[in-house]
Copies of this chain bind each other. A is one copy, B any other.
C-alpha cells in the first residue's frame, strides 16, 4: 500500500479502525482531541460507534461494558483524563477484558501543560489503580510505530484479555509523518465465545464481575492474573538495540520521541569520538530487563544513563535490570520542554565521564 502523510492523532484513529475496533468512547482533552474529531466522522463510516461520554469516568466504564460483549473497543485521552480512568482500569483488568487505551501524555502533575512529557511512566507501568494488576504498555517513537502498535495493542488485549496502553506524547499526537497501513490486514482476534456476554440463548449465562467476597475466589483470580503476567513477561518484551555494534562506553536507555533525540545526540557524539549505545524499550511493561542487562554488563560499558522526559521514573527499571553491576545515572526533564540533541549530548558527555 502506498504511504500516506498523516497526523499522529488521525493515524492512531485509522489504525484502530483497521484493527477492527467497533466502539470508541472518549472525553476531549488536549493534546489529543483530534483523535476524537477524526473518529466522530470515521467510526460511523466504518460501521462502528463513536460516543463522547459525560466524563472520562463515563467513557472508561462504557469501555468496561462494551468490552464485555467481545467487541474491540478503545479510548484515547491525556494524563488527567487517564488518572480519572484508574478505577475503571482496575475493574477492567479484574474482569479480564480486552480494552485499548492511548495516553498522549501532557506535562504534569495537575493540569500542567500540553507540551510533550513522559511523566506518566509509573502510572502506566505500575498501574495507577488499586490492586495487583498490570497493563501491557507500548511506546511508539514514530507515527508508523503508533499505527503498528495501536493495531498490535488490540491483538495483545485479545490474546491476554487484559488492557493494553499505548503511550505517546504531544509530538506523536501532532506530528505528520508518512505511514503505511498493511494490505490485506487480518486482526488476530481470539474467539471470545467462552466468556462474552452476548445474550445467553441456548447456553448458560456468562457472568462478568469483579466482586469476590469469597476470599478463595479472590485468591484464585489473583493467581490467574499473576500467571498471566508471568506469561506476558516471558513473551512480550520488545526493544530496539541501536548502535551497539560498536564498543560503546556509555549505554543510553531511552524510549518514545525522547529516543529519537538521543539518536541524533549519539551520532553527534560519535563524531567527537565518544561511543554511545542505545537500548530503546518498546514495551515498557513488560520492561526488557534482560536486554538492558545484556547491553549494560559488557566490559566496554562504564555507565548506563536513563534519559527521560520525566524526573526519574524509568531509571528504577533500569536499576533493577543492571542490579548494581554498572553505575546507573539519570538525565531528564518533566517540564514539557523537550531537550535538544545538544543538551542531551552534553548530559551524556558529563554523566558518562563522572
List A residues 307-324 near B (Cβ within 8 Å): 310-313, 316, 319-320, 323-324
This protein's copies in its complex? 4
- Select one of B131, B312, B316 contacting A334, CB under 8 A: B131
Interface residues of A in 106-150 (CB under 8 A from B): 107-115, 117, 119-120, 122-123, 126-133
Beta-carbon contact of B109 and A211 below 8 Å: no
- Give the distance to chain B from A231, nearest Cβ to Cβ, in Å: 14
- B-facing mask of A193-236, CB < 8 A → 1, else 0? 00000000000000001111111101100100110000000000
Contact B83 A109 (CB under 8 A): no
The answer on a CB contact under 8 Å between A54 and B58 is yes
Which of B112, B126, B130, B226 interacts with A212 by CB under 8 Å? B112
User: Chain B contacts of A93 at CB under 8 A?
Assistant: 109-110
Contacting pair A130 B126 (CB below 8 A): no
Distance to closest chain B CB from A279 (angstroms): 18
Out of B54, B83, B222, B335, name the residue touching A87 (CB < 8 Å): B83
A336 touches B219 (CB 8 A): yes
A95 within 8 A of B: yes
Q: Are B82 and A108 in contact (CB under 8 A)?
A: no
Chain A residues proximal to chain B, CB less than 8 Å: 49, 51, 53-54, 57-58, 79-80, 82-84, 86-87, 90-91, 93-95, 105, 107-115, 117, 119-120, 122-123, 126-133, 209-216, 218-219, 222, 225-226, 310-313, 316, 319-320, 323-325, 333-337
4 closest A-B pairs by CB: A108-B131, A110-B210, A94-B110, A109-B131
